[in-house]
Amino acid sequence: MHNPPPDPSQHGGTCSALGDRLQRGILETGKEEKAFGSYVVPVSLGTLLKSRFMCLLLRHVLVRFLESVSIWAKKTHPVHGPQNVEVVDIRSRQLTLQWEPFGYAVTRCHSYNLTVQYQYVFNQQKFEAEELIQTSSHYTLRGLRPFMTIRLRLALSNPEGKMESEELVVQTEEDVPGPVPLESIQGGPFEEKIYVQWKPPNETNGIITLYEITYKAVGSLDPSADLSSQRGKVFKLRNETHHLFVGLYPGTTYSFTIKASTVKGFGPPITTRIATKISGQIFKGATIQCLFMWITNAVVEFT
């Protein structure tokens, strides 16, 4: 009874060495007989070639597997943050960013996020926000405020960490202003003049350049008064938020429409009515009905 043949690896029988020895035997006999101790193992030519091929194939697969494991084990945070980030378009309420595209060599992971982080100060309050970017090399940030200084940066992150771009500081363009606050308009009526003052819009959306005030008479206590000439328009500079209107008729109600302007144009108008005072002489000649109507209008306009 024979013992089983020993393991070739115990006799220096690696795949390469074993194949070389077997190949030398083939050239001599056409069939290899490899001795292991006192035993002889016949190996046909086809079996030999198949065994050598499988040995090389397994070694190749093993090398590739170890390389894959090595790459997986080396996953770290991104190599660097987004580069060459620049603003390519700026408007009053949006801006467009552009950056250099990147691939796996930078992200170091197939699963990653790209976000834009920005902040600004409005009415002495600090606002911060973050948006997820799903485009490859450009992004439009919308819903911004006009004439606002914005600090922003891009952040590239994967499960292992995060890398940021350099910070950019940009300013959105101006826009037309909001309306002049109605509650800020105050009138000081006299018999033949009215002093009007107001405050700038709550949302200037830029630098106020002008105020436009139009006025016209809309009714008088004196039915015979010709009101067609009682109208006009004045312009005031950004730091002039008041005006004295003269040459008016006593006992007359006037409408005043005010709107502010920036370099982008005029904002929405706001209108109020103010009545001049009535003199004693006109008071004596007025009918009770007209006087009542005038007083009613005056009260309504000031409440």
Query: Does 177 fall in a domain?
Result: no
> Do 148 and 106 reside in the same domain of the chain?
yes
> Do 206 and 228 reside in the same domain of the chain?
yes
> Do 59 and 106 reside in the same domain of the chain?
no
Which of 46, 73, 100 corresponds to the end of one domain?
73
Query: Does 129 fall in a domain?
Result: yes
Pairwise CA distance, residues 254 & 5, whole Å? 120
pLDDT given at position 303: 36
> Do 192 and 260 reside in the same domain of the chain?
yes
Beta bridge partners of 42: 33
Sheet holding 138-142, edge to edge: 86-90, 94-98, 138-142
Query: Does 60 fall in a domain?
Result: yes
pLDDT given at position 301: 43
Pairwise CA distance, residues 256 & 263, whole Å? 23
Cβ atoms of 141 and 95 closer than 8 Å: yes
pLDDT given at position 11: 45
Q: Which domain holds residue 193?
A: 182-302
Query: Does 46 fall in a domain?
Result: yes
Query: Does 80 fall in a domain?
Result: no
Domain with residue 119: its CATH number is 2.60.40.10
Q: Is 75 left (phi over 0), alpha (psi -120 to 50) or beta?
A: beta
Query: Does 3 fall in a domain?
Result: no
| pLDDT tens sequence for the chain (303 residues) | 445 555 444 444 444 554 455 445 444 444 444 444 444 445 455 565 556 666 777 777 776 766 555 555 455 777 887 899 999 999 999 999 999 988 777 777 777 889 999 999 988 899 999 999 998 899 999 999 999 999 999 998 888 888 899 999 999 999 999 999 999 999 999 999 999 999 999 999 999 999 999 999 999 999 899 999 999 999 999 999 999 999 999 999 999 999 999 999 999 999 999 999 987 655 444 554 455 454 444 443 433
> Do 272 and 187 reside in the same domain of the chain?
yes
Which of 171, 202, 217 corresponds to the end of one domain?
171
Beta-carbon contacts of residue 284 (< 8 Å; ≥ 6 apart): none
Query: Does 2 fall in a domain?
Result: no
> Do 188 and 232 reside in the same domain of the chain?
yes
Rounded to two decimals, what is the model's pTM? 0.64
Which of 171, 191, 219 corresponds to the end of one domain?
171
Domain count, the chain: 3
